[in-house]
Structure 1
Amino acid sequence: MNVHALIADAVRRRADEPAIEHAGRRLTYRAFDAACAAFGEWLEARGCRPGDRVLLFLRNGFDYPVLLMGTMRAGMVAVPVNAKLHPREVAWIAGDAGPRFVFTHAEHVDALAAALPPGNAIEVIAIENFDLPASATAPAAPATVAPDDPAWIFYTSGTTGKPKGATLTHRNLVAASVNCLADVFDFRQTDRVLHVAPLSHGSGLYLLPALARGAHNIVHDRAGFRPDEVFDTIAALGVTAIAFVAPTMIVRLLEAAPRDDIGSLRGVIYGGAAIHLEHVRAAVARFGPIFHQLYGQGEAPMTISYLPGRDHQGADDETLVSAGYVRSGVEVRIRDEDDRDVPDGAEGEICVRGDVVMAGYWRNPEATARALAGGWLHTGDLGRFDSGGRLRVLDRRHDTIISGGTNIYPKEIEDVLAAHPAVREVVAFGVPDAEWGESVAVAVVADDPALDEQALLAFCKDHLASFKKPKHVHILPDLPKNAYGKVLRRDLRERYGR
Structure 2
Amino acid sequence: MTAPLFYVDNTPYSQADCDHIVRGLAERPEFQSPVGCRFAVCLQDTAHWLALCLWLKPLGASVLPIHPGTPYPAAKALAEDTGCSYLLFGEQLQEVTPETLGGVTRTASAEGGELIQLSSGTTGKAKTITRPWRDIDRELAAYVAHFTEARALTPVVACPVTHSYGLICGVLAARERGIAPHVVTNLNPRFIIARLRAVPEHLLYASPTLISLLMRMLPEQEMLHAVMLSGAPLPAPVLTQLRDRCLRLRQQYGCSEAGCVAVSADVTEPGLLGHPLPHLSVQAGASAGQPDEILITVKATGQRIHSKDLGYFDHRGQLHFLARTDDTINVAGINVYPGAVEDVFLGYPGIREAVAFKQPDAFAGERVCLRFVADSDIDTDQLRQWSRDRLSPHQVPSLIEQVESISRLPNGKVSRRLLSESLADKGQREVLA
TM-score interval for Structure 1 and Structure 2 normalised by the shorter chain? 0.7 to 0.9
Match of 1:324 in 2: 274
Is residue 2:226 matched to residue 1:267?
yes
In structure 2, give the amino acid aligned to 1:209.
A
Is residue 2:211 matched to residue 1:211?
no
Report matched runs for 1:91-240 at 5 Å: 91-105=76-90, 120-121=102-103, 149-184=112-147, 186-188=149-151, 191-201=153-163, 202-206=165-169, 207-222=171-186, 225-235=187-197, 237-238=198-199, 240=201
Name the CA distance, whole Å, in 2 between partners of 1:472 and 1:403. Answer: 14
**Cα deviations by residue, 1:142-176 (Å, 9 ceiling, x for unpaired):** xxxx9854320121122333321211112221122
Match of 1:351 in 2: 295
In structure 2, give the amino acid aligned to 1:208.
L
Match of 2:339 in 1: 411
Match of 1:439 in 2: 367
Q: Please state how far the C-alpha of 1:381 moved relative to its aligned partner.
A: 0.8
Tell me the matched-pair count: 414
Q: Please state how far the C-alpha of 1:391 moved relative to its aligned partner.
A: 1.3
Is this contact kept in 2: 1:445–1:475, CA < 8 A? Answer: yes
Q: Please state how far the C-alpha of 1:37 moved relative to its aligned partner.
A: 6.2
Is this contact kept in 2: 1:37–1:73, CA < 8 A? Answer: no
Correspondence for 1:308 among 265, 280, 283? 265
Is residue 2:404 matched to residue 1:477?
yes
Tell me the SS of whatever aligns to 2:115.
strand
**Cα deviations by residue, 1:149-205 (Å, 9 ceiling, x for unpaired):** 4320121122333321211112221122122212235444x7543221000111111
Name the CA distance, whole Å, in 1 between partners of 2:40 and 2:413. Answer: 23
Task: Output the aligned Cα RMSD.
Answer: 3.1
**Cα deviations by residue, 1:445-488 (Å, 9 ceiling, x for unpaired):** 22x12333234324422321111011111222222111111112
Name the CA distance, whole Å, in 2 between partners of 1:86 and 1:425. Answer: 31
Is residue 2:22 matched to residue 1:25?
no
Match of 1:386 in 2: 314
Is this contact kept in 1: 2:153–2:203, CA < 8 A? Answer: no
Q: Please state how far the C-alpha of 1:105 moved relative to its aligned partner.
A: 4.2
Name the CA distance, whole Å, in 2 between partners of 1:151 and 1:193. Answer: 24
Gaps spanning 5+ residues in structure 2: where?
Answer: 92-97, 428-433
Match of 2:50 in 1: 65
Deviates more, 1:73-82 or 1:437-446: 73-82
Is this contact kept in 1: 2:40–2:66, CA < 8 A? Answer: yes
* TM-score normalised to structure 1 length: 0.75
In structure 2, give the amino acid aligned to 1:292.
R
Distance 1:50 1:251, change over 3 A: same
Q: Please state how far the C-alpha of 1:351 moved relative to its aligned partner.
A: 0.3
Structure 1 residue runs of 4 or more that deviate by more than 4 Å after TM superposition? 42-48, 83-89, 185-188, 259-262, 342-345
Is residue 2:229 matched to residue 1:244?
no
Distance 1:171 1:45, change over 3 A: closer
Q: Which has the higher contact order (CA 8 A, sep 6+)?
A: 1
Name the CA distance, whole Å, in 2 between partners of 1:58 and 1:429. Answer: 38
Distance 1:414 1:185, change over 3 A: farther
Is this contact kept in 1: 2:193–2:218, CA < 8 A? Answer: no
Is this contact kept in 2: 1:353–1:376, CA < 8 A? Answer: yes
**Cα deviations by residue, 1:94-141 (Å, 9 ceiling, x for unpaired):** 2222223323347xxxxxx9xx99x72489xxxxxxxxxxxxxxxxxx
Name the CA distance, whole Å, in 2 between partners of 1:172 and 1:254. Answer: 36
